[in-house]
Amino acid sequence: MELKTPLYETHLSIKGKMVPFAGYLMPVQYEHGILAEHKAVREQCGLFDVSHMGEIVCSGKDALLNINYLLSNDFTEMEAGSCRYSPMCNEQGGVVDDLIVYKLNDEAYFIVVNASNKDKDYAWMKAHQHGNVEFKDLSGDIAQLALQGPKAEAILSRLCTELPDKYYSFKANVDVGGLKALVSRTGYTGEDGFEIYLANKDAAALWEMLMQEGQADGLLPCGLGARDTLRLEAAMPLYGHEMNDEITPLETNLKFAVKLNKAAFIGKEALLTQTVKRTRVGLKVIGRGIVREAMPVYKEDQKIGVTTSGTMSPTLNAAIAMALIDKEYKEMGTKVEVEVRGRRVEAEIVRLPFYKK
Amino acid sequence: MKVIENYFYTKSHEWIQLLEDGTALIGLSDYAQNELGDLVFVNLPEVGDDLIVGEMFADVESVKAVSDVFAPINGKVLEINEELLDAPQKINEDPYGAWFVKVEGDVKPETLLDATAYQEYLTELEA
């Protein structure tokens, strides 16, 4: 039996098409459809329910020590009120999950993890904790709404006077239309925008308020379908696609979040000694067809890799994909072929991201 | 969902319209296009290809996924609607006008659903 977010009834009332995802019933789209929702986020604004995401708080005197040991990024020089992305690796350097750490203060960090991994992550953190620290899974109590797009700031500023200014920063305990929330300037769409965390009981009220406030600005409710096309255009990796237990962050081009010169962390030894043979690239389809995930990539007769995500890009009006391929073929402009249901379709290696605002 | 009188249908949501000259047009129903969502790609057979009842002869892709389109009859492709290749959204906009292929073949109405039966079938599905 799937779980429901506190916005389940709201989704039904506005004709959300509900599908099972990561153990939840989530809207894949609403009545305007994925293309219209995608366009709204690129040109105006979109509102997403992402309450299925997990939230874990790490606190105690040794909180920093613990997250620096668990995660590959370095959190030593970090100001309270800022956010930082990081993979969490296993001993082999593969990825347990990728997540965002919000520093509340020197002894407390708010960690946002993928819905499909939250139980695994929580168990992993508990299993590797040491010293004076406590991990607490708050996923069941917290709702998350993402307001994304060029009009997001204008809309939200009419309900909240203390918005975070900088990308990847946040403000805790702010008042959004009379409700208490944590607001960060983050997102998964490639646009400016905010993610708002608040108590489950307030989620429906905030949704209504935002939809009403944004109506004149062209705000549309958006589902998981548009979330995926938007993040793919922005070339943001998705766990289970561009990375997993057996793909290291070095292979999927997340080197910026792997600090091999910091003290010991889980996976460091493996990553230090890894000879990176494959890499993540962008593919633009030249032939006719849409490339999806897990399709083999060829250079002439040689299989050189596999696609990890693919879709029709509404912004570029072209089929795009990301793939993990043999490093020696990563040059921009290299022509390759992808096998799409038994048929070879020509594609070209292009620079990531596919879309930049 | 809209159902058109005088068309025949399948349980996999294709429609077939019999023309006066004995040929037939085949497309996807309003219910199907609504379920699939925004269509962004269509793959059609070639003129001269054989259709075999119950087997896929075309596929359509929405933003999210690919779906097969099945032949409602045995027959041969006389013409394809090339307009759809560049404008798959026409299937969403006008499902009963956006025919995929024109075929000549062996139409057995008793193996298909008429508008009333298809409407009843949809009502069952949505119950």
Residue A159: the pLDDT is: 98
Note the ipTM here: 0.81
Smallest CA–CA separation between B37 and chain A, in Å? 6
Summarised one tens digit per residue, pLDDT across range A196-208 is 999 999 999 999 9
Q: Do B61 and A290 touch (CB under 8 A)?
A: yes
Summarised one tens digit per residue, pLDDT across range A45-74 is 999 999 999 999 999 999 999 999 999 999
Got the DSSP string for A159-198?
A: T-S----STTBEEEEEEETTEEEEEES--SSSSSEEEEEE
Residue A124: the pLDDT is: 98
Residues of chain A contacting B85 with CB distance shorter than 8 Å: 288
Smallest CA–CA separation between B19 and chain A, in Å? 31
The answer to whether B105 touches B76, Cβ cutoff 8 Å, is yes
Shortest CB distance from A35 goes to which of B41, B63, B85? B63
For residue B126, what pLDDT band results from cuts at 50, 70 and 90?
Answer: confident
Smallest CA–CA separation between A29 and chain B, in Å? 9
Nearest to residue B102, comparing CAs of B34, B49, B43, B63?
Answer: B49
User: pTM of the prediction?
Assistant: 0.93
Shortest CB distance from A312 goes to which of B40, B43, B85? B40
Residue B127: the pLDDT is: 79
Summarised one tens digit per residue, pLDDT across range A281-334 is 999 999 999 999 999 999 999 999 999 999 999 999 999 999 999 999 999 999
Residue B65: the pLDDT is: 84
Q: Do B38 and A35 touch (CB under 8 A)?
A: yes
The answer to whether A51 touches A7, Cβ cutoff 8 Å, is yes
- pLDDT beyond 90 at A166: yes
Residue A121: the pLDDT is: 98
Cα→Cα distances A50→A114, A139, B15, Å: 10, 11, 38
Residues of chain A contacting B61 with CB distance shorter than 8 Å: 290, 312
Q: Which of A233-237, A310-314, B106-110 has the lowest mean pLDDT?
A: B106-110
Residue B97: the pLDDT is: 97
Strand runs labelled E in A95-133: 95-105, 108-113
Residue A337: the pLDDT is: 98
Please give the structure tokens belonging to residue B41.
């790609």
Q: Do A34 and B64 touch (CB under 8 A)?
A: yes
Smallest CA–CA separation between A321 and chain B, in Å? 13
Please name the residue of chain B whose CA is at the shortest distance from the CA of residue A35: B38
Select from A19, A21, A28, A35 the residue whose CB has the most chain B CBs within 10 Å, as the one to mutate to test that interface: A35
- pLDDT beyond 90 at B106: no
Domains and CATH numbers, chain A: 277-350 (2.40.30.110)
Smallest CA–CA separation between B35 and chain A, in Å? 9
Residue B37: the pLDDT is: 93
Q: Which residue has the tokens 């506190």?
A: A6
A213 labelled as ligand-binding? no
Shortest CB distance from B41 goes to which of A36, A289, A341? A289
Residue A290: the pLDDT is: 94
For residue B16, what pLDDT band results from cuts at 50, 70 and 90?
Answer: very high
**In whole angstroms, what is the distance from residue A307 CA to residue A324 CA?**
6
Select from A34, A309, A317, A320 the residue whose CB has the most chain B CBs within 10 Å, as the one to mutate to test that interface: A34
- Neighbouring C-beta atoms of residue A214, cutoff 10 Å: 26
**In whole angstroms, what is the distance from residue B94 CA to residue B103 CA?**
20
Summarised one tens digit per residue, pLDDT across range A1-43 is 899 999 999 999 999 999 999 999 999 999 999 999 999 999 9
Residues of chain B contacting A33 with CB distance shorter than 8 Å: 37-38
Pick the CATH number of B8-126 from 3.90.1310.10, 2.30.30.100, 3.40.50.170, 2.40.50.100: 2.40.50.100
Q: Which residue has the tokens 């013409």?
A: B79
User: Distance between alpha carbon A275 and the CA centroid of its chain, in Å?
Assistant: 27
